[in-house]
Structure 1
Amino acid sequence: METTLLTRENAHRVTMVRRKDTPESEPVAFHFRGKRYGYCSYAHLVGEPAKEEILAPSNFKDWLVAEVAHPGYLDEYFKQACDSYNLTSFSPAERAETDIASHEKELHEDLQSMPEEQRERYTENYKRYFLAMIAANGRCASAMITGPARFNTARNEKACNSYAKSVTAFKEWRERALEAIRKAVEAAKPEEQRDMEEWKKVKHFIDDAASTIHGIDTGTERGYSRSLFVSNLAGRISTYANHGNVEIIDRAIAHLREWNSKVKKPIVTERHSIFKYPELARKVREKQQERANRENREIPFDGGKVVYNFEEDRLQILFNKIPDAEMRTTLKRNAFKWSPRNQAWQRQLTRNAEYAAGQVLKLSI
């Protein structure tokens, strides 16, 4: 059986250890930084925390890893992480441990939320951004560490700004990647599953709002505005009506009527416009079906084309090559978003969208 020694590089993710001289013994708990003395001053504990049995890093070599919280995604970058703090910290190793530990935990949690086939690419990109960040950090310095003599303030300010940009780039990439993966996972679900999950969310919202409204009526909930809760409930459900989601609307109205039948004072009276939502949803769906049956329309321009995609209810701009940064910024300012699935810049098909596309492309649409 393969054995792994406890080291400073892997200690942050180890949860159980056993002595090297008794490898068949029962493992005991390992508490990374289980005792804190002050800033960047810690002690690792082994066994029961209350006993405070300290295990110094110099004695790690006498212990074997029995269990870990997650794989060592970033262990190989431990030295680079330490080096990146050489000019900014009196405790570079401790700062590096913190960085490695927090980012490995974050990466592990991210990977658990995505399909297996997405994990390798995500991990590679995560490592790339992490390395760029610690490399930028290594170019920063502190006069407290290097000494004030001939300290190049201008160069250091530039280096610190570069590091801040790398941190921001890392954060923004992660948010975009996770959102794209989430959307892909959602799109891959069977339609029945998506509908059921959506209905569960709507039902939970209705139950929560109705319960509070009933509490206001009976005096068990005080300090709330009944009209505000009813308005909020109607507004939330109206979104599905405006999107033509007949199935959700029908179930939502039926569920509201169930609530009304169980309480003395109706949650929402039958006079309320919310009970006209089924009719509204059907009218919206009819229009959607009529629009989907229309043939797409294209307007060419120098460098691409504008597409009226009636089936998806989107006005799309397709370029022959990637537009420059200025054009991309202009598109975003005019509410066009990039769709990887359609390989197009698009927004909902409205008169405002047509006007915006005309302004962006200098076309008469």
Structure 2
Amino acid sequence: KQKHPECAETIDMILNRYCRKLAEWINRENAIGTMCPSVMIAGPAGINRAKKEKQIAAYKRNAEKYEEISGLISRIQSVGTGGIKAGDANALEKLKNKLENMEECYQTMKKANAYYKNNGTLDGFYLFDEITEEKMHEYKHSGQPFSAYTLQNCIAEIRRIKARIASITAVKEEGGGEKVIKGIRVVEDTDDMRIRLIFPDKPDEETRNALKANGFRWSPKNSAWQRMLNANGRWAAKNFLATVKDESNES
């Protein structure tokens, strides 16, 4: 299935990792083959039993490693099929399209229920094909094609999407920025929707643990500790910075 162009960078990154890991696996597989000669070549008498057992164990471990490497193919296939990330370049557009589809779906379900209530069937309902007898039996048993539970879930999803749109819009309207607090650069990137903490030097283990406790993760690409840019992200940054000693004020 063709992927959206914006997924290309992620796919290339995983594919490069797959190629590197596969090459390492092949080299290891070849090295294991030299640990002990084949019985077909050396004969039973020419085989060191201990070495052969180690070789078999090594082959088994390498086979398990291959399963892990093969999992990267599934990751490549799944790129672009998950939820909408706030850092996507077209996140707002995607969310608005999703909201429009969900609202249309909700109205369709309501119309289908009303049609069924008035006619006792969905035959002739303009948005449905021919309904099977099995489905009709289910409708008669439940009283309507779409249950109240299904409609409530749809409404909840619509509210969730609206809240995400409002949250991302508010952050983008405020605009990004950068400031230095206690010697640490605090960067708000509204394009990637990330709040980043950039240290002049590598923080010690205690500081790294505090960052992780506040939801920050190390980004080698940006050389920064970062998390999602939203109200929670800003609070987490403020909470972490409150624990940092301001060495610039020390004499």
The structure with the greater share of residues assigned to helix is: 2
Point out which structure has higher relative CO (alpha carbons under 8 A, 6+ apart): 2
Normalising to structure 1: TM-score of the pair?
0.38
The structure with the greater share of residues assigned to strand is: 1
